[in-house]
Structure 1
Amino acid sequence: MSNGVVRRGAIVAVIVLLLSGAFSYIRLPHAPVITAPTAAHAAQMDLRDHPRRGPGPAVSGPTTIPRVVLGAATNSKVVALTFDLDMDAEMATAARGGAVWINRDALTFLESRKLHATLFMTGMWAEVYPALAREIANNPNFEIGDQSYSHPAFHTPCYLLGGVSRAEQARQIQLAQKAIERSTGVLPKYFRFPGGCYDRPALDLVHAAGLIPVQWNVNSIDAFNSYPQQIVSTVLSEVKPGSIVVMHLNGGSNAPSTGLALRLLIPELEKRGYQFLTVSELLAAGTSIQPIDPREVSEFYQPPPPPALPVKSTPRWCGWVIGLHGRVWVCR
């Protein structure tokens, strides 16, 4: 090998070493790290693909749709009142026989005060009361949500609700959407699980239908509760900025005191500076609060009633009896 070739090779080697040293001091931008979403994070979808159907400010810009909504993180004194309108086959039969599954007192109060609220109705309720369902949907202060077709459990145990198969759960969602749209002209974008019970496959079904699951973080315990003051005290003790409160508008024995409770509750919340929003408005006001349970399971077990106390038999005869040790008082 000639000396010229050796010299050229040495020069090239020196240049390479110099360049490599220079590049070692150049800061290259880090590529973004993409992690898989956890159960507690939002499903990555764009709210612009889901137009708003209800009152409240429109959502602008890309916003992720939450996996499950429990409330909103905000410092503003705002709260979302939500009301369930349950109905199953047994209630529908009773309605055809004259039973009324609407608390007119509570509904009239909401309307008279022009309170913003979100009402989750079952498809069966919308079918049994189509005129009333449309009246509710036409109120600019109300927003309509879906609560399945006939209120089965989407995960058990769930109080005393009976469970159904995954295929039936998917069918319940679609039947309710169609029934509510037929009766109201509104296609809901929010879904509430009957009884508040769900698991991961149930969540996946709701998201596959293009709906947002909405739960709550304040339970008013107005269901089957005849004490309005207890309902009021429960809400006032738990409410905070961004809360979602669940109540019921069925009336009857299912929710007998909701109207009376509202007449006491709303003035107290207003004294504390709260304003009332629909779910859409609440989500526009703050970041959605997600469940922290990594299993993505919500269930409610209702213990069986305690065993009945033994009934003491009533004696048929009492009197003195002569025995081996004299007279003895006995009852037989």
Structure 2
Amino acid sequence: MGNSTPTYRTALVGCGGRGMALLRTADQINRIQFVAASDLNGINFDQLTAAGIPVYRDFEQMLEKESVDLVIVATPIATHYRVAKQVLSFPVTGLYLEKSMATRLWEADDLISRAEEAEIFFVVGHQLRYTPSWASVKNMIQENAIGKIGYIRAHRGAALLTHHTHQTDLMRYYLDDVPVSWVLGQLHRDGSHLSEGLESEMQALGFVQFENGVSGIIESGQYNPSAGNHLMLIGEKGEIRVGSGARFRNVDTGGKWQPLPQHDQPHIFESFLEWIEGGEEHRCSARKGRDTLEVLLSIYESCHQRRRIELPLQERGNALEEMINEGILP
């Protein structure tokens, strides 16, 4: 890739619905060329073959045979660590790994260490940082639309590690990824509950104290009636609701609710290439994804230890798994 506008030979691992969506998104960038795809179960192979993309059942065999610069991994969350670890053993330039990056903190740290040692650019798929309807709130905050933020609340009717990771990550993005001081959490589960094949909580509640003084509430799981999928931010001059029922109000609107303005956002994969080529760190770099995972795992750990958890988190595993194995939760 010695010319000024290199083409990045790209491979997809995991060709289900999410993987194909990522392929279509990445394919919007002219400098990204898909040269191979792999899926253990052969999902969507007919479609990929019709597009002229070679397919493999074994992703390691694919990476051994094909010359690849970028790898996009969209396999089930329980496989993320194992698959990403193997990808990072190949001479690639960049790895895009779907969220959450792992299910245990030691796994996330190990992947980051391997990527740094191999000088591989590593991104985790918290793509809402680039989605205009969500990311534009960051622009509003920078424009001082609601003044100094004091409180932020995130709700999503899904499990923490599989889906609420997006909303928790947005909390951190809106607050410039400021560190968290401590987390207090509780879980509910009355039997086996699978989310994307992962044993998960049915409901979760977390209080997050950020170092800058902002207080955050994380609500996860099914409620009746549904509270929707949204974040609420309250500042000294107004408030913002983004997601379901999106709107804002402040002193300039006279306290009346108004639709959220939209701001153009860069393309998530174009920004990936720019980072590789010496630009600013990607909004979804792995270290940011790791810190979001730490907050979620701290909710589990708080429930396990029945106390608030100071960060950085000292426990490196997954306390939900431990509570299930110990019979504390069914």
Task: Specify the TM-score bucket, using the shorter chain as the normaliser.
Answer: under 0.3
- TM-score of the superposition, structure 1-length normalised? 0.21
Rg comparison, structure with higher value: 1
- TM-score of the superposition, structure 2-length normalised? 0.22
